[in-house]
Amino acid sequence: MRRVISGLAATFALALVASSCSSSSEPEGAATGEPTAAANDPVVVLAYDSMDFPQELADAFKQKTGFELEIQATGDAGELANKLVLSKDAPLGDVAFGIDNISGYRAVEAGVFAADPVAAPAEVTELGIKDAPGLTAFDHGDVCVNYDKAWFTDNGKKVPATLDDLRDPEYKDLFVAMNPTSSSPGMAFLAATVANYGDQWEQYWKDLKDNGVKITSGWSEAFNVDYSAGEGKGPRPLMLSYSSSPAWSVNDDLTDSSTAALLETCFHQVEYMGVLQGAKNPEGAKAFVEFMLEKESQEAISAANYMHPVVAGAKLPEALEKFGPLAPTTHDIDAQTIMTQQKDWLAKWADIMGQ
């Protein structure tokens, strides 16, 4: 499946390169003699570690704008937000790429981003964070519980559907999730439980603990050790992951997947990009944000990272379209509330779980 995804990403990005080459053989502004804003000064993009940014996309960006692109990995999404805040007076790059609605608003409040919004279509602005004009959505997806189809068939068990089902004794010792203090999907799931249960969310986690939920430090540990459909073929057929994850476990002809998502358990995650206040190359950073809203760029980043594009008309990879749908309804909390309440939630969660 990784080969299929890489091939799709290359196809989309190469098409973009061709489009850029056909539209102009020189960077924009070169033909008119206008300055290209330090063409030998790269645009430094700060992204999280697991971001897969296709080289073909970077090449297309240079062809279109004249700017070299330098992608710097900075840890997970939470670490990215922390580093942006700590370095706001001397930014480490020009643009942040991958800050989300779970961890990002603290950076907004700290004044990390240039306030001027980049022009975006209506469907993109609708995904924006209130009072955060400097952030522009570039993709989105859902954090959801996934299940191993074969395990439930082989063991004659009914597949759970809701958050409530996960605390049913029928599913004791079958669910693995991530620590919200160290994992972005873990924090998303905690927020989903707060959104769904309100003041009773702590009791829900006590019930999960009594029902044998296992907590890992991160997604990879759960997938590689505990999940029955993962690399380690572990003992637990329920794993916190993404609604797009089943698109990775499809068969060769893309007619079926060995896993599926429980679409009634989801939190909607939106990823943003933004020009950093005090950026060395603000012109290049703005050009990058605009470039990533182009349809071809949206398709390339979707194919590389298996998140849904935000621009209307951008096509999804076939496997994602068939097996990674967005949930019709999600358990969400606004970014500002997450920022103000997260510390308290995590303290209470750690006390309940003994973490």
Question: Tell me, what's the pLDDT at 36?
Answer: 45
Torsion of CA 266, 267, 271, 274, to 10 degrees: 170
At 1, the pLDDT band (50, 70, 90 cuts) reads very low
| Cα 249 from Cα 322, distance rounded (Å) | 12
pLDDT tens digits, 152-193 = 999 999 999 999 999 999 999 999 999 999 889 999 999 999
Residue 283 tokens, joined? 């012109």
Alpha helices (H) in 241-332, listed in sequence order: 282-291, 295-305, 318-323
The pLDDT of 82-111, averaged and rounded, is 95
Which residue, chain included where needed, has tokens 């927020």?
Answer: 191
Encoded amino acid at 173, one letter: D
Question: Tell me, what's the pLDDT at 311?
Answer: 98
| Cα 237 from Cα 256, distance rounded (Å) | 18
The lowest-confidence range among 68-72, 78-82, 170-174, 324-328 is 78-82
* Whether residue 209 has pLDDT greater than 90: yes
The lowest-confidence range among 37-41, 197-201, 213-217, 248-252 is 37-41
B/e letters for 108-127, b = 16+ CB within 10 Å, e = fewer, are: beeebbbeebbebeeebeeb
